[in-house]
Amino acid sequence: MTAVTDVKGVGEALGKSLIANGFKTAEAIANAGPADLAKVPRIGEARAAVLIASAKEAVATKLAAKKPAVAKPATAKPTTRRASTRKPATRRPAARKTVAAAAAEKRAEEAARKAAEEKAAAEAAAAKARKKAKAKAKAEKAARKLQEMEAEFSKAKDKVKAKTKKDKKSKKDDKKKAEKKKADKKKAGKKKDIKKKDKKKGKKKAKK
């Protein structure tokens, strides 16, 4: 059995997570499907494909490393030489798996690049939206301030207008009072003159 941590790209933390989810060996990972492996936290389908390819490579490498050790006692026999010539045949699947792993890794990198681009585009759009919202809020604030200023100006204008009207009315009333006073005075003067005349007439009559 090959340990989970022997798989390329699997550290201690991820190894514990894989074991906790039932993938206790590299063989278990190699035999799993991308969808099954993607159920493990922190592993997406793209990374799952890379881990499966790496697990197959690790298992094949371990098997290839074990076979020469078994063939060592018979090194003097010609048959062992034939066995040694067969070694490249056992390595070929590993080489093919390495190519598959590289392709899966490339796909994963492409997916990660696309995700990074999408994230950057989303952040740029969000920043643009925030900027637009900020400008809109600023414009609305300026409009409110202008409206308030116009309302204050209109109020002050009305106040001045009302005061002017009041002053005009007050002057008009004062004028009327002055005219009335003058008329009353004139009237009183006339009455006084009439009284004087009547008094003189009375004196004349008395003399006669």
**Domain residue spans of the chain:** 4-108
How much is the pLDDT for 208?
57
How much is the pLDDT for 90?
47
How much is the pLDDT for 15?
87
Mean pLDDT score of the chain = 79
pLDDT band of 187, cuts 50, 70, 90: confident
How much is the pLDDT for 146?
92
Q: What is the torsional sign of CA 193, 194, 195, 200?
A: positive
pTM of the model: 0.33
Q: Which residue has the higher pLDDT, 51 or 94?
A: 51
Give the C-alpha separation, 3 to 8, whole Å. Answer: 11
Give the C-alpha separation, 153 to 11, whole Å. Answer: 73
pLDDT one-digit tens code per residue, 23-80: 889 899 889 888 888 888 888 888 889 989 999 998 888 887 776 544 444 454 444 4
Exposed / middle / buried, residue 32 (Cβ in 10 Å: 0-12, 13-18, 19+): buried
